[in-house]
Chain A
Amino acid sequence: MPPLMSTHCLSLVRPVRKVLLAMPLLAAAATGIATGPMRLNAAETAAPAAQGSWHLTDGDRVVFLGEGFIEREGQQGILETALVASHPDMALEFRNLGWNGDTVWAESRGVFDSPAEGYRRLMSLMQELRPSVTFVAYGRNESYAGEAGLARFREQLTQLCSDLTRPAADEPTPPPNRLVLVTPPPFLPAPTCPDADTRNVMLAEYAAVIREVASANKAGLVDLFTAFPKADGPSTRFSVDGLHLTPAGYWAAARIFLKSCDHTLPAASDREIEAIRTLVAAKNELFFHRWRPANETYLFLFRRHEQGNNAVEIPQFDPLVEDAEAKVRAAVAAIR
């Protein structure tokens, strides 16, 4: 038998960057010792955390996981810019695994296979990336199923949280993956979304489930659904289609993220922040070509006997991603 079709999402074969998992940093994270002036006070991390609170630690590798809100964030880079710029003394790494239309069942990740197989690949990918923090942003796409879908959603979101924090078989005491659950931004009124209010009634129930699951799992929470502001201008300022955010909408979301972890942007000019954002977006584009390369069919899947030799190019994005991330850090350092 030829090997079963199972490896293509495991194409991220690069070794885990041990430097980021080095003991001193881990120790710092685990004991909550502040490593810089902008850190949260030690009490908050050492004492039982307030419900839903979260923080970033020097050396964190952060994964953004979710649906279109997250995938488009990858292109915009605004949430990431806000986080990286508000933690200027930390070496942070971000990997965006957003996928349009996705759900807690990984419905967009099956490619030629079932969603269950896509889910399995996602977990393998997470094992390779070994994030120390994962933002989990689902709920909107699931909400179309209405009242009838709530119980299933709760069950699977709980399962997802458990799977994301489960240690690998070969690593009994892995670095912890701190989860931060994110509720979806509300539907916003727009000509293409005339029934935003009605839809938000149902979305509110899904957001409530996310809050409950966050609490039950002692995960962090960013409650975009509750905290998202009303547009202070034209109704389409934050979203043109009522669903996906404009840059202004992402900045509104970014402020909620920062407030939620009690950080602020440093005093920097818009130009400086925009320069960081451009670098973040460029880094994310490189990583996109790394983890979701075009032509997967020929590179990794059932037609790899034809052009699989070209797959050697894909890991060549790794150093480019790392260089791009270094540039982000340098730009952040410049505004410190």
Chain B
Amino acid sequence: MQGTLSRAAWAVSLSAVFSLTGLSPARAQRDLTDIPEPDPVAERAAMTVADGYEVTLFAADPMIAKPLQINFDPQGRLWVSSSKVYPQIQPGEIANDTVTILEDRDGDGVADHHTVFADGLLMPTAVLPGDGGAYVANSTEMLHLADTDGDGKADTRRVILAGFGAEDTHHILHTFRWGPDARLFFNQSIYIHSHVETPSGVKRLNGGGIWRFLPRTLALDVFARGWVNPWGHVFDPHGRSLVTDGAGGEGIYYGFPGAAYQTAVGTPRILHGMNPGSPKYCGLEMIDGPHLPDDAQGTLITHDFRANRVSHFRLSESGSGFASEKLGELIHSSRVTFRPIDVKMGPDGAIYVADWYNPIIQHGEVDFRDPRRDREHGRIWRITAKDRPLTDRVDYTSLSNEELLGHLSSASGYDRDMARRGLWSRDPSDVRVARDRWAASLAGVGSDPEVDRLRLEALWLAQAIDRGSQDDIDLPLLKQLLASSDARCRAAAARVSVDWADRLEDPVAMLAPGVDDTSMLVRLETVRALAAIGGLQAAELVLHAVDHERDDALDYAIWLAARELESVWQPAVLAGSFDDGGRPERVLFAIQASQSGATIPWVVQLLNNRSQLTPAVIAEAENAIALYGTPEQSRLVFDVAVDRATPFERAEALLGSLLTATATRGTVPAGDLSGLAHLLHTDGGPLSVRAVEAVGVWGLTTLVEPVQVLAADADRPDWLQEAAIKALGRLPADASASSLAALADDATLTPGLRAAAIEALVASQPEAAARAAAALLATSPAEPVQDRLYRSFLSRRGGGDRLADALASSPALPRDVLIRGLAIASGTGVEQPRLTPLLESLAKGESPVTTAAMTAGDVAAFAAFVAEAGNAERGEALYRLEKLQCVKCHRVRREGGRVGPDLTAIGASSPLDYVIDSVLHPAKNVKEGYNTLVVLTADGRVITGIPVSRTEDELVLRTAEDKVVSIRTSDIDEESPGATLMPQGLIDGLSRQELADLVRYLSELGR
């Protein structure tokens, strides 16, 4: 295959470097050849361990292989689920994956006994002991396996829940955890679509999320959702959830009922993790036990499995949730095979790490049947603190109920978890007697964080042994905790109250003080509890919470509750029976949240008493009408906007909202709109721009003339002229096309304005537009102008073909303009069967795609060259070059676009040749969550972008220009998956040294 001259020259020098150095090829996924010997001693020797810690081997192959999840049982035995079938069962293969129990009977920190508890499983990605056996994830189902005859092997197998998707086998059910409330929490990842039949109905979850399941009643619901791969979940001592994501890139996340993160389907609003720019993390555990150093207590451990590291984070309380700070690494291995994926605190107070041990991860990037996939090995490592005593091992199954209750006050999270689980397994009536006595012993003391934490344990235990009778609820304790001096206990109690709401006399009244609580955390949990309980009074209280300061999570919680309770407050507002405490802001917040026009009549009425309202309320009310009102209602706002007494800024905002309503719902204010004519000239600034836009969007043909004048008026600022040109493009062709065509050919105009005119002309007169574009491109305008011209055609159905026609019969374009066109075309995600070959042939018949001819050997040699001669400082300068467009789409430490993956930690998480490959072959490895969608609209637009959100009514895409575009579902003709948005060949003009510098810079990010 041929390349460009620059690439050809480059390849020659590459092979020279390769033959000279003779370096071993670099480590990577697809091209990995340097696989270390699987000796655990050597693997241990390759680890760098943080000061003060020790790492020893607890178990290894052949005792276990390919561990996926580890969990201890109350006897201190470690349950390990393993799969050799992953990633895909082969025709004729018998699925025979296992769950193994490891024991350290002599307590020397090394497993000395192992039992295969169950086999015959299909990719068991999770195991959690409980209820006399273990819950096991088995691809599409959750099983409960039990050993009833005591021989250590499971002899009963029950399907507990079924209907989970398996569209991607590293996304199937995982991360089983017992909550403090005796619920089993378990997760699924982004590509999974689940449909689970329970006695109370079918529960569905499309996408990544955390399920919450009570085995005793089969009550199942979605706790929180929207992660890509939520492979880690841990509860803090007060039952608050922390989550990691094996692709989300935002570090530690805060989970609460109803939380939705970046990939949640069907919601227009999402939350964010606490450490943007993080690598992928797998597993999560909290250091919570006296064996480990005092300053590590409450910190989190998770795995940067791509970079072969065990990472460490510190949490602090912040607003309604937490702040999280990345600390150093507990372990960093130089071996590509070290793949820490799960972590648990153990019975001796040490940290246990499951090492999947594999040179190859993932099965999207690497072939299912790649022979280098390891199927035989796997390790459990044990991390201890130097010079600190281990904790005593306890067999919780041998303790009395009273002794177990005693362990609930332990300073070790492991102890408390096992004591709870021990108690849940006992006869509930016996436990109840002991619990009541224990709770009574705590009664005499006043509120104090430590005592209230014990009270919270007592409350959770009552919840866990609840059998549904009135007597099972502990109302005095619940009330006491709702009034605790510790906000974390008040918040946890609010969540418990939901389970008991059907047996409480007036749960809503009981929770009422929570919406005025001084703590945002308490307000958040109270609002979520009220939303779950429901009813008009609950809705009134939820909205009462908007009276106070709120951070993003709290604002989201109220927003979500307002949406969930829509059917309650809307009729009450319309009937005048909704008590807003004299604060219309509350209802206006709810209207914004629900994005519904149902209660706009109330807003209209509200504005009748304008003099009683604050300016802020008036502004919000008018805005709500503009956004959600009918054409007749929004006319009222239009009249305000064109009123000469309305301040310019206000008028501009209202016109903006009206235009948003047109874009999202197709609503146009009723009646004759030519009254906005005077706004075209008011400030000559933002308001004029809006007015011009409105003329175009609303098709006000009576105002064509003044807009034409603006468009051609060289005394006006460029941006106003441009807005006018754009508006002309929206107006019916007979009214505007001739003036646009003139502008497109007007050599006295700036290239930018001509490009705007061409863009505006493409829909109505594609041939004329294409001719004008060819002429303008021939003048080598600035790169942004070239990009705009190419994109104008590529974003219309058939536009690329029209441009190709014009270019074929025009003077040849300069070579760099042709190459730029190829790069832009490759970044649209859509094939251009005519334009691309034409540009290629005009560019002397050679594909400018540098990498076409790069073999594995070339990549390896180049990697060696990068390591030897790449200069990261020069690379950073290149990275920032506008020509290369890197910054436009990628973020590094919060700077840059969001079109492509955040690169802040790319160097730490990806091997060098993967980085090279991704720069050279952007289409080859598209990160999860960055797959594009190509949308054809009814009016002939082609929009390519990464889905940001989707509801029934709209699809939101992020385009290659980092613009967030909302498309009405009703406007969509067709949808199809597209290729990457990353333009190929942009790096083509770089020299070998320059490319090496760029790669060196990227490969050092996050290190």
Interface residues of A (CB under 8 A from B): 1-5, 67-68, 71-72, 75, 99-103, 107-108, 110-112, 140-141, 144, 187, 190-193, 199, 240-244, 289, 292-298, 301-303, 305-307, 309-310, 313-314, 316-317, 320
Contacts and interface: CB of A to CB of B under 8 A. Distances in A.
A108 B198 contact: no
Nearest to A310: B368
A68 B163 contact: yes
Contact of B169 (A4, A102, A294): A294
Listed residue (A102, A112, A199) with the most chain B CB atoms within 10 angstroms of its CB: A112
Given A100-B163, A102-B195, A305-B923, A1 B88 contact: no
B197 interface: yes
Interface string B927-965: 000010010100000000000000000000000000000
Nearest to A100: B163
Contact of A99 (B191, B195, B363, B367): B195
Contact of B162 (A72, A103, A240): A72
Interface string B381-393: 0000000000000
Contacts of A301: 167, 977
Given A101-B163, A107-B195, A298-B364, A303 B204 contact: no
20 contacts: A1-B976, A2-B934, A2-B976, A2-B979, A4-B976, A5-B975, A100-B162, A100-B195, A100-B196, A100-B197, A101-B203, A107-B195, A111-B165, A191-B216, A243-B198, A295-B88, A295-B168, A297-B168, A303-B364, A305-B979
B783 interface: no
A240 B143 CA distance: 13
Interface string B324-366: 0000000000000000000000000000000000000001110
Interface string B810-843: 0000000000000000000011000000000000
A73 B364 CA distance: 32
Contacts of B167: 111-112, 294-297, 301
B974 interface: yes
A72 B367 contact: no
Interface string B166-210: 111100100000000000000000010111111111111000000
A294 B976 contact: no
B364 A306 contact: yes
A294 B201 contact: no
A87 to B, nearest CB: 29
Contacts of B975: 4-5
B974 A4 contact: yes
A112 B217 contact: no
B322 to A, nearest CB: 33
A144 B198 CA distance: 11
Interface of B: 87-92, 123, 139-140, 158-159, 162-163, 165-169, 172, 191, 193-204, 216-218, 363-365, 367-369, 830-831, 923-926, 931, 934, 936, 974-979
B346 to A, nearest CB: 32
A317 B88 CA distance: 13
Contact of A240 (B139, B158, B368): B158
Contacts of B831: 1-2
Nearest to B924: A306
B158 A68 contact: no
B159 A72 contact: yes
Contacts of B218: 192, 241
Contacts of A71: 162-163
Contacts of B165: 111
B197 A320 contact: no
A193 B191 CA distance: 31
A108 B364 contact: no
A132 B926 CA distance: 44
A213 B92 CA distance: 42
Contacts of B925: 306
Given A241-B218, A294-B169, A295-B88, A3 B369 contact: no
Given A101-B202, A297-B167, A1 B830 contact: yes
B193 A112 contact: yes
A307 B363 contact: yes
B197 A1 contact: no
B530 to A, nearest CB: 25
Given A293-B88, A313-B90, 6 more contacts: A2-B830, A2-B977, A111-B165, A244-B162, A294-B89, A320-B91
A101 B977 contact: no
B199 A242 contact: yes
A330 to B, nearest CB: 19
Nearest to B191: A297
A335 B218 CA distance: 41
- 5 closest residue pairs by CB, A with B: A101-B195, A100-B163, A302-B977, A316-B91, A108-B195
A313 B217 CA distance: 41
Contacts of B926: 303, 306
Contacts of A103: 202
A52 to B, nearest CB: 26
Listed residue (A144, A313, A317) with the most chain B CB atoms within 10 angstroms of its CB: A313
Contact of B931 (A111, A289, A294, A302): A302
A248 to B, nearest CB: 14
A108 B163 contact: yes
A103 B140 CA distance: 18
Given A296-B167, A297-B168, A313 B91 contact: yes
Given A307-B368, A320-B92, A193 B169 contact: no
Contact of A243 (B91, B168, B199, B977): B199
A25 B718 CA distance: 80
A141 B369 contact: no
A110 to B, nearest CB: 7
A2 B978 CA distance: 7
Nearest to A145: B201
A313 B367 CA distance: 13
Contacts of A190: 199
Contacts of B364: 298, 303, 306-307
Contacts of B162: 68, 71-72, 100, 244
Contacts of A305: 923, 979
Listed residue (B367, B831, B977) with the most chain A CB atoms within 10 angstroms of its CB: B977
